[in-house]
Structure 1
Amino acid sequence: MKISFLIHTIYGIGGTIRTTLNLAEELANRHEVEIVSVFRHRDDSAFALDPRITVVPLVDTRQGSADRQEPLFAEPAVAFPRAEARYKEYNRLVDERVRAHYAASDADVVIGTRPGLVAYVAQFAPATAVRIGQEHMTHNHHKAALREEMYEHLDTVDAFVTVSEGDAKVWREKMPLPTTRVLSIPNSVPEPSVPPSDGTGRTVVAAGRLAAEKQYHVLVDAFAEVVRQRPDWSLRIYGSGDQRDRLRARIDELGLYNEIHLMGPHSPIEPEWAKGAIAASTSRHESFGMTLVEAMRCGVPMVSTDCDYGPREIIEDGVDGLLVPVGDAHAVARALLRLIDDEDLRRRMAAAAVRNARRFDPGVVTKQYEALFDELAAEAAQRAHIPGITPVADCAVAADGSVDVSLVAPLPEGIENGARLVCTRTGARTEVRTFDFDERGSATVPAGEVFPEGVWTVFVELAGGGARGRVTARVVDQRGALHAAERLSPGGPVRNLVPYEDKAKGGALMLRAWHRPVHAEAADVQIHGSRVTLEGSMLGTATVAGDPTLVLRRRGRPTDEILFPGERVGEDGFRFSFSSTVPAASQTTAHDVWDAFIRYAPDARPVRIGRVLDDVVMKQRIYVYPHTVMAKRRQGSMARAVAKRVLGRPRKKVRVRVYYTLSNDVALNVVDL
């Protein structure tokens, strides 16, 4: 087989590069292998490259490169997901280079190694190739916006491979992919080139990026307890990162500068592991845990936090290492002391670590990939003869709230055998609604159909497990949504389903659903200087009693509340009039956000105030209210404030503005100018 890896860059340093090379080198024993590096930012790779592997750089970003002068280099990418962390590094030139490379490719297998590259594989890999996406992070690591963008691409590839079964399970539960196989295959770690540790030293070793999620401060605090009982032991931490200064300060604060040493980065790391008698990892989360396997292959038993997901799948607690609760420095200290004080246990665990870590040898892991390639190859060949579909439709909301979707000619090939409209909810792919198309290519979402609140993507799926394509909108008629308030039943839930075209997703047809048992519908907002007046009405199952209370909650700290009394207007209406100087005086950051709630009865739970009963899906830039600029509250003592006035220093200012959030709920922000 010819196997092609698509990677961000092969010229850097990182775990994805290392694991890709481990797999590629083993595959090169039996297959033709290429690594397609999207970018080339230096002359040579930081890693030694096997000469059997063909490296294909696509875009040269070195200083003076002609690629940097290409007009497309300055245009934003259109095929790369906008919510991907590296989106700003990509451009139209990259899109076209990746497209052109795979248009001429004869690869049998194409593997994307990060979310945006999986999207490229889904779009550009040869029709006959096995298309595989790799997940080197985790489902929960990615923002909801990226997961939503990736759904259609993950639904297109043949397999999506995570590095832990725990993460694969989360993907299967939270984003079911009916046509994609979701499974786990661990990263591989080669046998070390040095003999294993003899365990006679008195050093604990840790290695990895000095980053917040690695929680090295927990290890430092734990080792302070260890040193009090075993002062002849030391700790070495290898790696670099933005937490180095903080760790250095903590080590100095604890007076452990003779016992704990920040060693900096080392490559290769195996000789350093072999110097240790015990290894430690205190991460908050680990998609896999390369350092754990490296240490075990070097004959060093590991003490690790039992974080999601890798450690508990790598370490057999009490056999080849010890697992402890995340963030618990005392538990880490107890585990370290248990191994320090029991040399026989340490040696038994070290021997078990060497044995058990062999399952991560490149030869073992590569066989799992080869078995996957073979299973999917026949399906890929069959898929090459099934044309994809790119449906286009008109959509209209009727006065009764039903939504009609009518496909535009030419209709997708195969629709005469049956098709259905499939609606899936962002961030909750287990939420699916389906409706059959008739022979004319029309489908109707009935009035009263319950859609849980959120954003829904619209697909057409051919009968019999055939192709699925996201619907592109041609004309969207939203007039029926203007009657949403008229359709409400007294005492019934508040619902509105509004179709719209999402231009950021290439004109995709989307549905925005609101569904609230109790709802406070905002009406007019009046701004007179710093005075804000907000009116509206209570709807749904709410039983209004007495005068209402406006509750402003600080976003991120919901226990911080500001209360304003209001007045009841008629049977279900409300009106609040308050001064925006109050939240301004409570400012704690350069950008405070206060979400607006109403307590409509003395014993009622506050509910959000929003405006959802019309046709405007995104009100943030449409319903714009005047802002108020005022002096920023002075920080510090009265004496300093008086001194600043005497010196004539101008007071800083803040802007206070009422606005609608992305969910069309009312909020107020206080922003430094």
Structure 2
Amino acid sequence: MKITFLLYDAYGTDGTVRATANLAGALADRHDVEIVSCHRTADRMRLTPAPGVKVRTLVDLRPASRHHPGRIAGQRARDTVCPHDTVHHGPTPPSALGEERLARFLQDTDADVVIATRPYLTCFLAEHGRPDQLRIGQEHAGRDLHPEALRDDLDRAVSLLDAYVSVSAADARAHRRALHSAPTRLTSIPACSPAPRTEPSSGQSRTVVTAGRLTAPERYDRLVDAFAKVVAVHPDWTLRIYGRGPERGRLRRRIHELGLHDHVLLMGPRTPMDPEWAKGAIAVVPSGAEPSGLPLVEAMGCGVPVVSTDCGHAPREIVTHGEDGLLVPAEGAVEDALADALCRLIENDAERRRMAAAARRTAVCFRPRHIAAQYQALFTDLRPELGSRSRGSLPRGGRPAARAGLPPWRRALERVGLAGLGSPVEVGCRVLADGSIAFHADRPALTPDTWNLVLRPRDAAAGDAVRLRLEQRTEGDGRGLRAVLDKASWSLAEGHWDVYVQHVNGSRSRPVLAGPVETARLLDPAARRPSDAGCTPWIPYPARDGALALRTWRRPAHAEVTSVAVGDTAIELTGSLHGRIARAHHYRFRARLQGHQDRAFDAPCHVDPYGDFHIVIPLTTAAEHHPGTAARWDLRLSAYGGPELRLGMLTGDLADRRDITAFPAAHRSTPEGRLTVQLCLTPDHDLALTTREAVLSPRS
């Protein structure tokens, strides 16, 4: 049997793309499976297709393409189907070219089953699909969430299909009530989530995790308000919000208004999310509507109990209240209910551990093989003759399908001076308890003991490359290769390091694409505790081009800032000194104007015998020394006869925290106007202070 999935943009990372990629991979064990993406908006898919899954794109919309929207003005589709779908108002609206190619594809394809994954594609399939195909639409959003005009479009289209599959039973019932006379099979099959490729959560972090699109329906605003209540009781806990979307700016402002910049972090998008879920002790879904429940299942699969609003469909079908998570009312005093549920799990370690174990058991029911079996049964029930069209299982050791879109690794090769050599290999890594890093290639096309894992500093002056022999793994099932960068054996210069593999005789090299990057142990309080050795974190991370890289710091003496308080009269910094040499001196705080060694000011600073420090920067002092134009000040602790330490934020799991750790501004009135004083981070994660004036208008 040949099965085709229609995606609007397979190069994104939203829940529909993830669910489709997971299901396609599971069905590919028995069938020929193809993902057809209406558009291509990136060099490669963020979610690498499973072996056996082919990917086809109808229109290339990358910036260099001649079909880019900026080059095909006036080519937007006219009299298109489903005009009320939000894709018409997005960055890549349907074009006449795209609709022509999609219609031609549906007429020419030899697929036995075609599955459309969003309203626009469902309507297009109903209008242009062939009757000899098994035509199936999927509902990933929920009927009640669509505006009335879009529901009308969908109702007409669904009545022409063979089946329409919702991800929740409640939504399927809503469709059956509205379309009781339609001949279409209206049913529900949950979204699927594969077993995580990471270690499950230890439950020991003091971190709450959530993820999704930063849009108004997701209601992250009320989660931030709820977490303010949590922090008032448990100030050592933090909330991480993963995702991108139009609400990011408003959320940032609310975080600053509530003084939560030390406790609530806007992390941006991550793919895959499994390593990030595993950093949490609790997951939370505050949504006003969660039709698919995919974030719930993903978090539960990583051994994280969930707190979710009981917002109708998927949550109550996935979470059993009191067993694997907690459900709170979706209406009324939701902030209080969320805060109470989070505090309940924070304050009850035994209950949290019990729910975490139950959550992992629940997630097994949503594994792709179980969901694929339900789709297989649907296909056979609708068209019995399709049950005999299985091509047999694809051997796990068989040749995998070509990866879609690999140009980024070419850039990775060029960056390390190896352009044109070799094809990429995926390597994941895990930070160990002592800060060492274990690299692993689970399905390598490499021979054991004949390849080295090489780390090369981007700054040639930082030293020589590090070479580690890739050896056969002995733990687990013994498959794959492993190499360990031992913290006790290596001292890496500060900077960025690129990772690639090289044959032991130096004849061949291959770039490394980042597999799962597991850095949960860097959030362990013990890993951030000051030591006599100074501050030497190693943080692996996936680079923008998908390559694996490493960020390192080497500070024998360092002043680590752990909290920042911004008030009406002063900015206060609290932290600890790292390194024996750092704790052997008395210090004063000094802010030095960048580019002017002779211009500086001091501020009150107290360092106790244990190396904990507290600094108060009065806004009046910053105003008195402001040079009159926008200025940046380096912040240091200066010892009398000892080292000068930059203040910074180096510990933790963030290789680049500049867009994540943001500080609210403080303001001071001056005769000329108003002075804005604000902290920021440098690329090296050192703290700096900016001062700038806003001249008030005569009417102000």
TM-score by length of 2: 0.52
- Asked if residue 21 in structure 1 is aligned to residue 27 in structure 2, the reply is no
* Match among 92, 95, 99 for residue 91 of structure 1: 95
Inter-CA distance 361–238: structure 2 relative to 1 (3 Å threshold): same
Residue by residue over 1:240-284, the C-alpha shift from the partner in whole angstroms, topping out at 9 and shown as x without a partner, is 222222222222222222222222222222112112111111111
- Asked if residue 120 in structure 1 is aligned to residue 121 in structure 2, the reply is no
Counterpart-to-counterpart distance in 2, 1:361 and 1:193: 13
Asked whether the equivalents of residues 77 and 99 of structure 2 are also in contact (C-alpha less than 8 Å), the reply is no
* Aligned residue in 1 for 2:53: 53
* Aligned residue in 2 for 1:76: 77
* Aligned residue in 2 for 1:298: 302
Residue by residue over 1:619-649, the C-alpha shift from the partner in whole angstroms, topping out at 9 and shown as x without a partner, is xxxxxxxxxxxxxxxxxxxxxxxxxxxxxxx
Aligned length: 381
After TM superposition, list the pairs within 5 Å mapping 1:211-360 onto structure 2: 211-326=215-330, 328-360=334-366
Asked whether the equivalents of residues 105 and 126 of structure 1 are also in contact (C-alpha less than 8 Å), the reply is no
Residue by residue over 1:290-322, the C-alpha shift from the partner in whole angstroms, topping out at 9 and shown as x without a partner, is 111111101111011110221111100111000
Displacement of 1:71: 9.3
Q: Which amino acid aligns with 2:367?
A: D
Q: Which amino acid aligns with 2:335?
A: A
Residue by residue over 1:31-68, the C-alpha shift from the partner in whole angstroms, topping out at 9 and shown as x without a partner, is 00111111223332222123522222122334464557
Counterpart-to-counterpart distance in 2, 1:72 and 1:220: 41
* Aligned residue in 2 for 1:192: 196
Displacement of 1:116: 1.4
Inter-CA distance 215–150: structure 2 relative to 1 (3 Å threshold): closer
Q: Which amino acid aligns with 1:34?
A: E
Inter-CA distance 162–244: structure 2 relative to 1 (3 Å threshold): same
Counterpart-to-counterpart distance in 2, 1:379 and 1:115: 28
Counterpart-to-counterpart distance in 2, 1:64 and 1:224: 46
- RMSD after superposition: 2.3
After TM superposition, list the pairs within 5 Å mapping 1:410-429 onto structure 2: none
Inter-CA distance 201–43: structure 2 relative to 1 (3 Å threshold): closer
Q: Which amino acid aligns with 1:138?
A: G
Partner SS state of residue 272, structure 1: helix
* Aligned residue in 2 for 1:364: 370
* Aligned residue in 2 for 1:11: 11
After TM superposition, list the pairs within 5 Å mapping 1:566-645 onto structure 2: none
* Aligned residue in 2 for 1:533: none
After TM superposition, list the pairs within 5 Å mapping 1:53-202 onto structure 2: 53-63=53-63, 65=65, 67=67, 74=75, 76-87=77-88, 89-202=93-206
Q: Which amino acid aligns with 1:81?
A: C
Displacement of 1:375: 0.7
Asked whether the equivalents of residues 40 and 62 of structure 1 are also in contact (C-alpha less than 8 Å), the reply is yes
* Aligned residue in 2 for 1:600: none
Counterpart-to-counterpart distance in 1, 2:79 and 2:326: 47
Partner SS state of residue 303, structure 1: strand
Displacement of 1:93: 2.7
Inter-CA distance 94–295: structure 2 relative to 1 (3 Å threshold): same
Displacement of 1:84: 2.1
Q: Which amino acid aligns with 1:277?
A: A
* Structure 2: unaligned runs, 5 residues or longer: 388-700
Residue by residue over 1:338-397, the C-alpha shift from the partner in whole angstroms, topping out at 9 and shown as x without a partner, is 11111111111111000011111111111111110111114999xxxxxxxxxxxxxxxx
Displacement of 1:85: 2.0
Displacement of 1:134: 0.5
After TM superposition, list the pairs within 5 Å mapping 1:474-553 onto structure 2: none
Inter-CA distance 204–101: structure 2 relative to 1 (3 Å threshold): same
Asked whether the equivalents of residues 162 and 168 of structure 1 are also in contact (C-alpha less than 8 Å), the reply is yes
Counterpart-to-counterpart distance in 2, 1:377 and 1:142: 30
Moved more, 347-356 or 75-84: 75-84
TM-score by length of 1: 0.54
Inter-CA distance 177–64: structure 2 relative to 1 (3 Å threshold): farther
Inter-CA distance 237–86: structure 2 relative to 1 (3 Å threshold): closer
Asked whether the equivalents of residues 47 and 271 of structure 2 are also in contact (C-alpha less than 8 Å), the reply is no
Counterpart-to-counterpart distance in 1, 2:276 and 2:95: 41
Counterpart-to-counterpart distance in 2, 1:58 and 1:8: 10
RCO higher in structure (CA 8 A, sep ≥6): 2
Displacement of 1:222: 1.6
Displacement of 1:15: 1.5
Q: Which amino acid aligns with 2:382?
A: L
Partner SS state of residue 368, structure 1: helix
Asked whether the equivalents of residues 171 and 182 of structure 1 are also in contact (C-alpha less than 8 Å), the reply is yes
Asked whether the equivalents of residues 114 and 134 of structure 2 are also in contact (C-alpha less than 8 Å), the reply is yes
* Structure 1: unaligned runs, 5 residues or longer: 382-673
Counterpart-to-counterpart distance in 2, 1:32 and 1:297: 28
Counterpart-to-counterpart distance in 1, 2:313 and 2:146: 15
Partner SS state of residue 360, structure 1: coil
Asked whether the equivalents of residues 164 and 186 of structure 1 are also in contact (C-alpha less than 8 Å), the reply is yes
Displacement of 1:101: 1.4
Residue by residue over 1:212-257, the C-alpha shift from the partner in whole angstroms, topping out at 9 and shown as x without a partner, is 1111122222222222222222222222222222222222222222
Residue by residue over 1:139-159, the C-alpha shift from the partner in whole angstroms, topping out at 9 and shown as x without a partner, is 122221222223232111010
Displacement of 1:74: 2.1
Q: Which amino acid aligns with 1:334?
A: D
Inter-CA distance 369–245: structure 2 relative to 1 (3 Å threshold): same
Asked whether the equivalents of residues 220 and 251 of structure 1 are also in contact (C-alpha less than 8 Å), the reply is yes
Q: Which amino acid aligns with 1:257?
A: H
Moved more, 263-272 or 297-306: 263-272
Counterpart-to-counterpart distance in 1, 2:73 and 2:257: 52
Displacement of 1:124: 2.4
Inter-CA distance 196–212: structure 2 relative to 1 (3 Å threshold): same
Counterpart-to-counterpart distance in 1, 2:41 and 2:348: 50
Inter-CA distance 92–176: structure 2 relative to 1 (3 Å threshold): farther
Displacement of 1:79: 4.9
Asked whether the equivalents of residues 223 and 235 of structure 1 are also in contact (C-alpha less than 8 Å), the reply is yes
Inter-CA distance 133–278: structure 2 relative to 1 (3 Å threshold): same
Counterpart-to-counterpart distance in 2, 1:304 and 1:94: 39
Q: Which amino acid aligns with 1:319?
A: E
* Aligned residue in 2 for 1:31: 31
* Aligned residue in 2 for 1:643: none
Larger Cα-atom Rg: 1
Moved more, 249-258 or 328-337: 249-258
Percent identity over the alignment is 47
Partner SS state of residue 86, structure 2: coil
